[in-house]
Structure 1
Amino acid sequence: MTSPSRAAIVTGAGNGLGAAFAEALAAAGVAVVVNNRMHSDRPHSALAIIERIEARGGVAVVDGHAVDAEGAADALVGAALAAFGRLDVLVLNAGIAGPPMKVGTGDTGVAEVMATNFFANVRLVEAALPHLLASPAGRIVFVSSTGGLHGVRGRAAYAASKGAVNGWALSLADELRRTSVRVNVIAPYAATNMTAQPGRAADPRLAPEGAAAALTWLCDPATDRTGEIWVAGAGHVRAARAMESRAAPAAEIAARADELAAMPEARSYLGGEAAFADFYDETTRGAT
């Protein structure tokens, strides 16, 4: 196989969003490791994605590791290097929702959800980072959720895992800002097996392909943005970020809580240090 100019790993790519992301990257000329957990009782779903990619002239290989399995991170990176001789793009899409359970009414599955949605991503980044740093334009995209920004009623474990993903990704972006690696988060709105509801037909406008253009853009060598969260779906995008209001004296919180919660003069920051520095500066100057 001729060495490609760019190569990617896409986790959880046997169907839904991951499949759409893998196919979009392949259509853009990127060789792709299509990862999805292999099950002994049915055909490997990623094989159909490989066939579609190859039928359109793309290049892809399959990987059947569960991302949270022991040794999976090194094996996945090794698969990319063995097949393509390089690694330029890491798309961290694999995830589980956990049980639909309100806090206090049962086991929300926090440990299991965090193992797949967060800790597996950490190990993959650590295994892939030396190779991404060797790329002239390494790209890491964490597939997260607006639940990690706003919470999700009945899905506290899922929301917590995606909040962890967001914080870790933005920290990593800050640490790698002086390198050639760019790190961003995409929060897709899409109709998938994870979001399906019994008796309710999926809105065709929310097909997974509607988020793929934004993902491909974030992986492009020409896209130099980093440390951002992009919401994508139905062929549209919008930016998202954590915000803080202006400060006020704590003695006035009871009287001014509604005003401050409405976020007057809202602002965002590149990292927690910048947020603290601004808060400290405002309070020592005498906030009003």
Structure 2
Amino acid sequence: MFYQYRVYLYLESLYLAKMKHVKISVADTLISSFLFIFVVSFPFQYFANHLPNYVITILELCLRMFLTGYYLRLIFKYNIPLGKINFKNLLFFIPFLLATFTNLLAFPFADEVATLSFNWVMILDILIIVFTAFNEEILFRLFIYNSLRIENRLLKILAGAGIFGAFHLLNLITPSFLAVYQSVLIQSIYTFALGLILCFMYEFVASIIPCIVFHFIFNFFNQFLVTAMFYPIYSNYFPLYAALTIGCALTIYGILLYIFRFKKDPNSLSYNQYFD
């Protein structure tokens, strides 16, 4: 039994080493980033402003599907593993998952709640959310995060989250800059926080799959569902003190989780290569 356990640990170390030493060429990294920028910001968004909403939805879905195909091509080209889920560590991220549903607490405070009627455009919107979660996790976690050569794991997580939040500032590249800059800055702040959770999860769960699922759930409940049901501006219905309380509680939980559980975890992606 002990011998089998040692063999398992050896195979696990080989697997993690393979995850750590994935290196995508500079050209492929730049092309991947450029395609992502084209889809999520200027010039596509500028071009899309002159089209009917249903045409925009169809075009965006097609572009997201193309981007997914390109990223899958890179995954097969470089033989990048999606990861073997560490379910033991995954359980510690349940509080973060539950927090994605907190916007639903705004229902009692809403003066008006829309009735959802599913149609083909809404189905396309949901598909866009699926492809968005996949595209962003593949680019920012599987490609960019894995390429960071930072010895301290905590700094690596912060850097990965910072890059994720900074990319969302590209939404400022729009003719209506003055009308959107405040909302874009707020978006960059909360995407930085989301990036912290996702980098944290990817580092210690050692698989991109839970990150994709978490990202989809977050976008579905916090952008699609709540926005569609609350009229006119759903964020006005959720008490600020409640949001701050939840945010502070998750921050404290994340810090304690890192210090007492994950700081010296030998099963993380970076532990065997670097030490804090």
Provide TM-score, normalisation by structure 2.
0.30
> Is the helix fraction higher in 1 or 2?
2
